[in-house]
Protein backbone atom coordinates (compact mmCIF):
# COMPACT_ATOMS: atom_id res chain seq x y z
CA UNK A 1 0.00 0.00 0.00
CA UNK A 2 1.38 3.40 -0.92
CA UNK A 3 1.30 6.52 1.18
CA UNK A 4 -1.05 9.24 0.03
CA UNK A 5 0.71 12.08 -1.70
CA UNK A 6 0.75 15.56 -0.27
CA UNK A 7 -1.53 16.66 -3.10
CA UNK A 8 -4.16 13.99 -2.35
CA UNK A 9 -4.08 14.83 1.36
CA UNK A 10 -4.53 18.49 0.50
CA UNK A 11 -7.47 17.65 -1.77
CA UNK A 12 -9.08 15.57 0.98
CA UNK A 13 -8.59 18.35 3.51
CA UNK A 14 -10.10 20.82 1.05
CA UNK A 15 -13.08 18.53 0.46
CA UNK A 16 -13.76 18.18 4.18
CA UNK A 17 -13.42 21.92 4.77
CA UNK A 18 -15.63 22.60 1.77
CA UNK A 19 -18.44 20.33 2.99
CA UNK A 20 -18.16 21.71 6.54
CA UNK A 21 -18.36 25.30 5.27
CA UNK A 22 -21.30 24.41 3.06
CA UNK A 23 -23.05 23.04 6.13
CA UNK A 24 -22.46 26.20 8.09
CA UNK A 25 -23.66 28.41 5.25
CA UNK A 26 -26.96 26.55 4.92
CA UNK A 27 -27.73 25.94 8.60
CA UNK A 28 -29.16 29.44 9.03
CA UNK A 29 -31.77 28.69 6.36
CA UNK A 30 -32.65 25.26 7.72
CA UNK A 31 -36.31 26.09 8.30
CA UNK A 32 -37.24 27.19 4.80
CA UNK A 33 -36.22 26.30 1.29
CA UNK A 34 -35.70 29.48 -0.68
CA UNK A 35 -34.68 29.92 -4.31
CA UNK A 36 -31.42 31.46 -3.07
CA UNK A 37 -30.72 28.37 -0.95
CA UNK A 38 -31.17 26.16 -4.02
CA UNK A 39 -28.84 28.39 -6.06
CA UNK A 40 -26.24 28.26 -3.26
CA UNK A 41 -26.39 24.46 -3.12
CA UNK A 42 -26.05 24.21 -6.89
CA UNK A 43 -23.09 26.60 -6.78
CA UNK A 44 -21.46 24.46 -4.09
CA UNK A 45 -21.83 21.39 -6.32
CA UNK A 46 -20.43 23.18 -9.40
CA UNK A 47 -17.45 24.51 -7.43
CA UNK A 48 -16.82 21.07 -6.00
CA UNK A 49 -16.80 19.46 -9.44
CA UNK A 50 -14.66 22.22 -10.96
CA UNK A 51 -12.08 21.66 -8.20
CA UNK A 52 -11.68 18.09 -9.41
CA UNK A 53 -13.28 16.31 -6.48
CA UNK A 54 -15.04 12.99 -7.14
CA UNK A 55 -18.64 13.37 -8.37
CA UNK A 56 -20.04 11.25 -5.53
CA UNK A 57 -18.44 13.55 -2.93
CA UNK A 58 -19.93 16.58 -4.69
CA UNK A 59 -23.35 14.92 -4.90
CA UNK A 60 -23.31 14.14 -1.17
CA UNK A 61 -22.35 17.75 -0.43
CA UNK A 62 -25.21 18.96 -2.64
CA UNK A 63 -27.78 16.65 -1.07
CA UNK A 64 -26.61 17.57 2.42
CA UNK A 65 -26.84 21.26 1.56
CA UNK A 66 -30.36 20.84 0.20
CA UNK A 67 -31.43 18.87 3.26
CA UNK A 68 -30.04 21.45 5.67
CA UNK A 69 -31.76 24.20 3.69
CA UNK A 70 -35.09 22.45 4.22
CA UNK A 71 -35.48 21.58 0.56
CA UNK A 72 -36.85 18.29 -0.69
CA UNK A 73 -34.10 16.24 -2.22
CA UNK A 74 -34.80 14.11 -5.30
Residues 23-62: pLDDT tens digits?
Answer: 555 555 455 899 999 999 999 999 999 999 999 999 999 9
**Residue 62 lies in domain:** 6-68
Asked if the structure places residue 24 within a domain, the reply is yes
| Banded pLDDT at 64 (limits 50, 70, 90) | very high
Distances (CA, A) of 52 to 11, 26, 34, 62, 73: 9, 23, 28, 15, 24
- Residue 42: CB atoms within 10 A of its CB come to 13
Q: Is the pTM of this model over 0.85?
A: no
Answer whether residue 73 is part of any domain. no
| Residue 20 falls inside a structural domain | yes
pLDDT average, residue stretch 5-18: 65
pLDDT of residue 29: 41
Structural domains in the chain (count):
1
Is residue 17's pLDDT more than 60? yes
Amino acid sequence: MTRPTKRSRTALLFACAFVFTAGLSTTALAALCTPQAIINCERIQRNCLSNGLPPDVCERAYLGCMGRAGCEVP
